[in-house]
Amino acid sequence: MQRISSEKSPTGPTVAIDIMPDLFSCILLGFVQGLTEFLPVSSSAHLVFFQKMLGWEEPDVFFDVLLHLGTLFSVVIYLRRETADLLKKPRVALNIALGTAVTALIVFPFKDSIESFFANVTATAIFLLITGIFLFAAEWFLKKFATAATYENMNPLKAALIGLAQGIAVLPGISRSGATISAGIFMGIRKTEAAKFSFLLSIPIILGAALIKFKDADFQFSALNINYAAGMAAAFISGLFAVYVMTQLLNRIKLYWFAGYCWIIGLLVILL
């Protein structure tokens, strides 16, 4: 892996070691992040797997922040009308705030323990198999029960439970969009409406996580270069595509397909 770090020289002063990820790796990981952040197949699992294949020994915190900001911009721009309407719809804004608060209450006390899973490829693969179970169960539920509610008339309890699902999805391999969309479906919300709420719910949590990581990686602010910018742009473009697929075409796509994909990739990683 190539990354930015700092090292203390024998004479005392701290010396910056300027070693950047190559352009191909940045674009590839940006594309993977954007596409899998909003498709229900776990972006964290794919980043873990691809970084291992690229020979990265540990995550690049600053680059990870930029990729998530790229996907944040994609959902804000694509759902700009829904995002702007939050100011006019206090009930929806309150539900998003409530879901975000529940997520934060789950994540922050266990932050260090959760981060340890990102170095465990086998555990990530097992969590990906669990994501497949969520998706399969949600599609089965759709076949058995009618789901007609919209996210705009959702009550606070449902918002809190979706926030709970988002908190569980911080584990690598548990898809954030997969967990939150499945939770919405189980509570009677239409599939595309559950997807829209999932993406709106991602805005504050991605922004909050980015701000925290910026604080952790403040020594790297001078590290922004063309490779990082290209990765961020790739995450933005592929994120736009993924949001389009999930909001416009989800009714034509069975969640069984995504479940099968998660099971295949998870089993392959465990076996290989």
pLDDT score at 162 = 97
For residue 43, the SS3 value is helix
Three-class SS of 134-202: HHHHHHHHHHHCCCCECHHHCCHHHHHHHHHHHHHCCCCCCCHHHHHHHHHHHCCECHHHHHHHHHHHH
Is the CB of residue 71 less than 8 Å from the CB of residue 38?
yes
Best CA proximity match to 194, nearest among 142, 238, 241: 142
Best CA proximity match to 142, nearest among 192, 107, 93, 105: 192
The residue that leads in pLDDT, 169 or 10, is: 169
Q: Which residue has the tokens 């058995």?
A: 144
Instruction: Report the predicted TM-score, pTM, of the whole model to 2 decimal places.
Output: 0.85
> What's the pLDDT band for 176 if we cut at 50, 70, 90?
very high
**109 vs 18: CA distance, rounded Å:** 34
pLDDT tens digits along 114-132: 777 777 889 999 999 999 9
* Across 203-222, average pLDDT: 72
The residue that leads in pLDDT, 88 or 32, is: 32
Q: Which residue has the tokens 């540990």?
A: 58
**23 vs 44: CA distance, rounded Å:** 20
Cα 115–chain centre separation: 14
> What's the pLDDT band for 223 if we cut at 50, 70, 90?
low
pLDDT tens digits along 30-67: 999 999 989 999 988 898 888 888 887 666 667 877 88
Is the CB of residue 255 less than 8 Å from the CB of residue 141?
no
Domain ranges of the chain: 16-271
pLDDT score at 208 = 86
CA angle 105, 51, 222 (to 5 degrees): 75
